[in-house]
């Protein structure tokens, strides 16, 4: 395919433009990072009293937050581990 007639940008100019764009992106990212960290710190500190109040209200209503209810507990053991565990318990019962 033939290139179109007319002036085209030199290759070095395109590479220089990309390098400038990358440098600008990196510098902006680095300069924004401390601001984001400070905002997250302030948000976390503001949530501490909210969580304390939530815990007090849950205890007043009779909900125990320290121990999960039996119906809330979910066995997350992978299937292959459960099969091995059942196999060994079966072997122990047979002896």
Is residue 18 included in any domain, yes or no?
Answer: yes
Is residue 94 included in any domain, yes or no?
Answer: no
Is residue 36 included in any domain, yes or no?
Answer: yes
Is residue 53 included in any domain, yes or no?
Answer: yes
Q: Are 35 and 41 in contact (CB under 8 A)?
A: no
Q: Are 82 and 88 in contact (CB under 8 A)?
A: no
Is residue 6 included in any domain, yes or no?
Answer: no
Q: For the chain, how many residues are written?
A: 95
Residue 48's domain comprises: 11-65
Is residue 17 included in any domain, yes or no?
Answer: yes
Place of tokens 């764009």: 21
Is residue 46 included in any domain, yes or no?
Answer: yes
Q: Please give the model's pTM, rounded to 2 decimal places.
A: 0.46
Q: What is the pLDDT of residues 45-87, one digit of tens each?
A: 999 999 999 988 988 887 766 776 666 777 788 999 999 999 9
Q: Supply 77's token pair.
A: 């053991």
Domain count, the chain: 1
CA 51/CA 93 separation, integer angstroms: 48
Is residue 37 included in any domain, yes or no?
Answer: yes
């Amino acid at each position: 395919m033939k290139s179109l007639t007319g002036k085209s940008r030199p290759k070095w100019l395109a590479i220089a433009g990309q390098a400038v764009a990358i440098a600008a992106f990196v510098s902006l990212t680095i300069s924004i990072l401390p601001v984001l960290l400070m905002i997250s710190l302030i948000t976390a500190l503001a949530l501490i009293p909210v969580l304390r109040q939530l815990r007090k209200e849950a205890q007043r209503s009779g909900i125990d937050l320290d121990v999960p209810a039996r119906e809330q507990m979910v066995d997350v053991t992978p299937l292959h581990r459960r099969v091995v565990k059942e196999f060994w318990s079966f072997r122990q019962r047979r002896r």
